[in-house]
Structure 1
């Protein structure tokens, strides 16, 4: 999972980054609004955005990002910044956390927003691969690929838990319905192999002695 941390206070920025990296997040840092917009891209999963930053303030950065992305944005704000909070939500921020803040509380908010956002994703794009989970269709290099429904359901479950290692049993428990014939654990390996082959998904990583995770690089 990629997170952009935009904060002009180096100590706070590095503290957030180091803490999140301990939990497997990939963190990109920006010290001002101009740098934030230069580094932002649609592969990111969440933005942590301070309001009072140099060159381009956080609210203007928020407005620019919203022109091209709906990914979750968490605002960092001082306790007295009520007007800024109103402006932030008016411009579609997804939440805010007041300074000073607890890093564990920040992580809970991040995890909650990412889970909420990922859970509503009906499309997946990676390199030359496009998947629509509503229509159960997939394309590679613009060409339709014949996919098994369970393959796409497994991919969606991996996407909803992006960055987390999932056991074969977890995948089975969450993808197979009670009315389905429950497969052996190793059947998951076959589905993963087909996903990688058909859609060229090197982002599905094998975790030895555990299972698999989806990790976009």
Structure 2
């Protein structure tokens, strides 16, 4: 799964080889990561800056289980425990203290990514509608409208518009849009396809089409000014 928004994950892991392998792999999937190798580094951290934590159960300066118990006193931030201990009692301990999932080392990076997708899909706030001024997108029916009047957008045009509105004032690479909208068909899509889709979308949006800015050689951005 390639998220339309950029996720940010905190990795608390003292094994630098594992931490950087995870960081490198996740960066290819639009996921930013910050690595800390002990608990003391998190003392002044704003956990609201993150979407999920990958937490090692055994750290040089404390127990990941105790950290999780403390975290759950004020935050429901998703946490996946990483540990070499696969005995039932440790799995039960982690889950009972509020872990959203548990994975033992060594683990497959694609499997870890699948678990992250699963946890985040459960936790992410479900939004049924996106709006910008009088432009509205119904994410359930996949219908866009302006001033209550429906627009005739095909599914690809709707998906591009949805991604732009979810990431207002953020530069979106052409490759990122293509991957999100066309998915597995990305590599078979003609490079001109996105250009044509954007052109049609601008036309159908009328004045709102002016908010879609072309970043030559880079991609596109929705300017909300």
Q: TM-score, normalised by structure 2?
A: 0.58
**Pick aligned residue for 1:105 from 104, 111, 123:** 111
Following TM superposition, by how much is the alpha carbon of 1:29 offset from its aligned partner in structure 2, in angstroms? 0.5
Structure 2 unaligned blocks of 5 or more: 1-6, 145-161, 182-199
Counterpart check, 1:158 vs 2:166: yes
Structure 1 unaligned blocks of 5 or more: 123-132, 138-144, 171-183, 197-204
Is this contact kept in 2: 1:72–1:93, CA < 8 A? yes
| 1:117–1:156 CA distance, 2 compared to 1 (3 A) | farther
SS at match of 1:8: coil
Indicate the residue corresponding to 1:87 in structure 2: 93
| 1:86–1:166 CA distance, 2 compared to 1 (3 A) | same
Indicate the residue corresponding to 2:67 in structure 1: 61
C-alpha separation between the residues in 1 aligned to 2:23 and 2:57? 18
Give the structure with higher Rg (CA): 2
Number of residue pairs matched? 172
C-alpha separation between the residues in 1 aligned to 2:165 and 2:90? 37
Is this contact kept in 2: 1:62–1:93, CA < 8 A? yes
Task: Please give the per-residue CA displacement for 1:113-170, whole angstroms capped at 9, x wherever unaligned.
Answer: 223322x345xxxxxxxxxx79x99xxxxxxx976543999489838xxx99446x95
Indicate the residue corresponding to 1:72 in structure 2: 78
Following TM superposition, by how much is the alpha carbon of 1:47 offset from its aligned partner in structure 2, in angstroms? 0.6
C-alpha separation between the residues in 1 aligned to 2:45 and 2:92? 26
Is this contact kept in 1: 2:83–2:104, CA < 8 A? yes
C-alpha separation between the residues in 1 aligned to 2:72 and 2:216? 35
| 1:79–1:57 CA distance, 2 compared to 1 (3 A) | closer
C-alpha separation between the residues in 2 aligned to 1:93 and 1:206? 42
Counterpart check, 1:43 vs 2:31: no
Q: How does 1:173-192 map to 2 (within 5 A)?
A: 185-186=201-202, 187=204
Is this contact kept in 2: 1:4–1:40, CA < 8 A? no
Q: TM-score, normalised by structure 1?
A: 0.60
Following TM superposition, by how much is the alpha carbon of 1:37 offset from its aligned partner in structure 2, in angstroms? 4.3
Indicate the residue corresponding to 2:151 in structure 1: none
